[in-house]
Amino acid sequence: MASRRPAPTAAPYRCTECGWTTLKWVGRCGECQSWGTVVEAAAQTGITRSVTAVAPGAARAARRITEIDTQDAPRRTSGVGEFDRVLGGGIVPGAAILLSGEPGVGKSTLLLEVAAQSARAGRRVLYASGEESAAQVRLRAERTGALHDELYLAAETDLATILGHIDQVEPDLLVVDSVQTVSSALSDGAAGQPAQVREVASTLIRVAKERGLPVVIVGHVTKDGTIAGPRVLEHLVDVVCHFEGDRQTSLRFVRALKNRFGPTDEVGCFDMTGSGIAEVSDPSALFLGHGDPEPGTCVTIAMEGRRALPVEIQALAVKQTAPNPRRIVNGVDSSRVAMVLAVLESRIGVSLADKDVYVSTVGGVRLVEPAADLAIAIAVANAVQNRTVSKRLAAIGELTLTGEIRNVTQAAQRASEAARLGYHTVLDSRSRKLAQALNELKVRGMPRDDVTPAF
């Protein structure tokens, strides 16, 4: 009788992402479903090695936390105020910053502006470009006005050569664009593979910590919007920023997803122009319509990080004879709009079964918070009845299925920002019910000729 072959003691292949093991190589991990992460694992020898303790030097000896002087690491302004806002006030020496975003959104343009402003402030900057040639970066710098003698440019994809440029230039700020294009001879695989990205990032971060050199690394994103490469990359860096925006509009946002030196709820606003990227320090007028008040419009106060921004919501109701009316939304959550329409028809008596309803925001902003429910309801009700409200009125509140108006987060900040911008009337949870809020605006379930606009 044939004997069964003994099982191997260790699987020869391992996933670099999750640690899943297999006896043969496969292109896709069977556990985390990542492609190209299964590599040959090191053979286990069974020898237990011990680590010998090394006495630290006087400069690296452990000290009481109360004896640590924070003046040794003062923040440095990048010269771009909106970028400093997201970072928590400026760039900390030795910090590793990861900036991600979709292709073509403007990451390189933003960092070239940061590099130029830092150079103008008297700090030497090294910009290592692995995606564009030096001439291409120079052309973009001429177009955006980012030329300066203290800004050094190197078109390089080899990690060792970049380290040599650091020794030669001795910069005060390093920009690497991007980490997926740089490779190291100490790691197998092509540039952009998880092992290469991990080796390049860890080396750059080690250099940043040893020299107190802030490093800004550009990272690609996948189709679903997440940062490409191993997840350990996000854990290695100190700050993770995401640069986002719609290609159809010029507005761009920078959000902090992780920040060891500041808050993660700040948002920086930028405007992409033909001559480069410009800061938008007060974006209050970007998401508002212009001209006289029109039926079917209402303003709400939305929160973008710690910023309170007025956003105009527009609605249009068109009578139709088809059995299935259309509900088209842009910039708002379609499920919340469907709920608001159901509340209007069931609790208020606004007839919408024979009308196509269109709801949209102004300026390309996207609202995902429930604080816009009340403004959507008022805009749709006014669109059905052809009513207008004052341009100095703002609506803030979340609607429930019973028609109740609930309070929202940061309500006091929204109300104070509305008052600062000149919105004298604010409808919020003090109205308690949607019917009461609509009655305050002289809006009824059915249009009446004897009802005049309230404002």
Binding site residues for ATP, as ranges? 101-108
Binding residues: 101-108
In this structure, the strands spanning 125-129 and 173-177 are parallel
| CB-CB neighbours of 158 under 10 Å | 14
Whole-Å CA distances, 303 to 243, 379, 414: 18, 20, 8
Nearest to 239 by CA among 27, 80, 83: 83
